[in-house]
């Protein structure tokens, strides 16, 4: 690796020997994004104000959107030819692999509908959650919470594994990407992450039992 700025050496031709892969360093994603964003800007793209990882290019005959997450890139467009040209240009600067139409990204499953719409769900993610909690064969419930349920701070004994509670509740928060309907019930159990008790865990398990019966539910984009 070339000598970094600020490193003083009498032999400028020398290079640094890495003891750890660059990909594992904290600054690696930032450096990669900086190079990728600079490359996209040279192609006429600009980052949006609402999301710096979303790049847009407006042309008189087409529009292209690029969403970046570390080294995963999602591209959508109004012109397929423009996308092929973009991939060709990027392949000159980066080692790319075109995975074709989007089917799965960041635990979100994408199903292409006949009317050109998209169905976003997290079926595999839910299955993994049920497996982690040993609820693979659990009986589904029609609702995620009882209508008359009132969670309290001190109503039962402390949960024997608080870290499991926090881990699962944190995972449920990520579920809200495709299941915003569960925002209220997930917010309720989130209020007791600092000191979870048995009845709090029971409420979480009910949410999981509801998800077990609604794994394929999600959002439809048309």
Please name which of 112, 57, 94 lies closest in space to residue 79, comparing C-alpha atoms: 57
Q: Looking at residue 57, what is its pLDDT?
A: 92
Task: Spell out, as residue ranges, where the chain has pLDDT lower than 70.
Answer: 22-25
Q: Looking at residue 130, what is its pLDDT?
A: 94
Pairing relationship of beta strands 118-121 and 218-221 according to DSSP bridges: antiparallel
Q: Looking at residue 178, what is its pLDDT?
A: 93
Q: Looking at residue 24, what is its pLDDT?
A: 66
Q: Looking at residue 11, what is its pLDDT?
A: 81
Q: Looking at residue 205, what is its pLDDT?
A: 94
Count of H-run helices and E-run strands, the chain: 6, 8
């Amino acid at each position: 690796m070339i000598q970094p700025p600020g490193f003083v050496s009498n032999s400028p031709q020398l290079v640094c020997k890495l003891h750890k892969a660059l990909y594992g360093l904290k600054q690696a994603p930032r450096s990669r994004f900086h190079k990728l964003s600079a490359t996209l800007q040279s192609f006429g793209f600009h980052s949006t104000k609402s999301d710096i990882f979303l790049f847009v290019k407006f042309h008189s005959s087409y529009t292209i959107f690029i969403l970046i997450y570390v080294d995963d890139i999602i591209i959508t467009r109004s012109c397929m030819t423009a996308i092929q040209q973009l991939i060709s240009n990027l392949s000159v600067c980066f080692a790319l692999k075109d995975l074709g139409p989007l089917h799965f990204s960041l635990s979100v499953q994408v199903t292409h509908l006949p009317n050109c719409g998209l169905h976003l769900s997290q079926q595999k993610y839910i299955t993994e959650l049920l497996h982690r909690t040993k609820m693979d064969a659990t009986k589904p419930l029609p609702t995620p919470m009882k209508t008359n349920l009132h969670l309290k701070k001190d109503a039962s004994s402390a949960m024997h594994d608080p870290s499991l509670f926090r881990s699962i509740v944190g995972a449920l928060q990520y579920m809200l990407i495709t299941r915003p309907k569960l925002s209220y019930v997930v917010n309720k159990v989130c209020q007791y992450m600092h000191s979870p008790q048995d009845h709090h865990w029971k409420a979480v398990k009910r949410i999981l039992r509801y998800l077990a019966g609604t794994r394929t539910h999600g959002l439809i984009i048309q």
